[in-house]
Amino acid sequence: MTNDVIQQTIFTQGEEIVFVNKFFASTREDQEWLIQELKSFTEDTMSHQPGFISATLHKSFDGLTVINYARWRSADDFKRATENPAMEGHRQRLGGRFRREGALGTVAYTCIAEQGSAEAK
- Domain, as residue range, for 37: 15-107
Q: What is the pLDDT of residue 96?
A: 85
Please count the structural domains in the chain: 1
Q: What is the pLDDT of residue 16?
A: 79
Asked, for residue 103, whether it belongs to a domain, the answer is: yes
Which candidate, 56, 83, 69, 62, places its Cα nearest to that of 22? 69
Q: What is the CATH number of the domain that holds 35?
A: 3.30.70.100
- The parts of the chain modelled with pLDDT lower than 50 are 1-10
Alpha-carbon Rg for the chain, nearest whole angstrom, is 16
Q: What is the pLDDT of residue 95?
A: 86
Asked, for residue 116, whether it belongs to a domain, the answer is: no
Q: What is the pLDDT of residue 91?
A: 87
Asked, for residue 66, whether it belongs to a domain, the answer is: yes
Q: What is the pLDDT of residue 109?
A: 85
Asked, for residue 49, whether it belongs to a domain, the answer is: yes
Q: What is the pLDDT of residue 114?
A: 84
Asked, for residue 33, whether it belongs to a domain, the answer is: yes
| C-beta separation of 6 from 74 below 8 A | no
Helix (H/G/I), strand (E/B), else coil: 47 = helix
What's the pTM value of the predicted model, to 2 decimals?
0.79
Phi/psi of residue 15, each to 5°? -95, -25
Asked, for residue 40, whether it belongs to a domain, the answer is: yes
**DSSP classification of residue 38:** H
Beta bridge partners of 55: 70
| C-beta separation of 117 from 18 below 8 A | no
Asked, for residue 46, whether it belongs to a domain, the answer is: yes
